[in-house]
């Protein structure tokens, strides 16, 4: 997708503070952090959101494996963290390239799960 900001981050056209990268996935710091640690994990390939994921596609397990690696690499695995995926208008998805927020570094409230 030529006009997609996260595609441009994935291919290096737009700078980001990367914390993890492999063949399929890239993770970088959110520009507007909602917690001491706020990382976005995205597939390099463009998906609008989870509604584009097919049954035998392994991208979601690849993303969660990356989250596992990032938690240990960044040292917040033991204290815990939250993963959030906004899908569509009611959830407030603003960037139409599937992404998973990792929120960590503080005690999180009990609102909205």
CA quadruple 27, 47, 12, 92: dihedral, nearest 10: -60
* Distance in Å, CB of 46 to ligand AMP, minimum: 14
Phi-psi region of 101 (alpha: psi -120 to 50; beta: other; left: phi over 0): beta
For Zn ion, the binding residue among 46, 93, 105, 108 (CB under 5 A) is 46
For ligand AMP, the binding residue among 32, 56, 61, 90 (CB under 6 A) is 32
For ligand AMP, the binding residue among 24, 30, 74, 77 (CB under 6 A) is 30
Interface with ligand AMP by CB under 6 A: which range of 24-32, 57-65, 72-80, 104-112?
Answer: 24-32
By CB atoms closer than 10 A (0-12, 13-18, 19+), residue 99 is: buried
Active-site residue flag, 99: yes
Which residues of the shown chain bind ligand AMP in the complex (CB under 6 A)?
A: 5, 14, 16, 28, 30-32, 40, 86, 92-95
Catalytically active residues are: 99
């Amino acid at each position: 997708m030529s006009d997609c900001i996260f595609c441009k981050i994935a291919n290096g056209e737009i700078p980001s503070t990367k914390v993890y990268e492999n063949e399929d996935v890239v993770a970088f710091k959110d520009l507007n952090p909602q917690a001491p640690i706020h990382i976005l994990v995205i597939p390099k390939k463009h998906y609008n959101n989870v509604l584009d994921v097919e049954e035998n596609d392994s991208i979601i397990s690849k993303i969660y494996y990356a989250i596992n690696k990032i938690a240990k690499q960044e040292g917040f695995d033991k204290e815990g963290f939250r993963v959030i995926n906004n899908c569509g208008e009611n959830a407030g998805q603003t960037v139409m390239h599937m992404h998973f927020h990792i929120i960590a570094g503080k005690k999180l409230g009990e609102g909205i799960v």
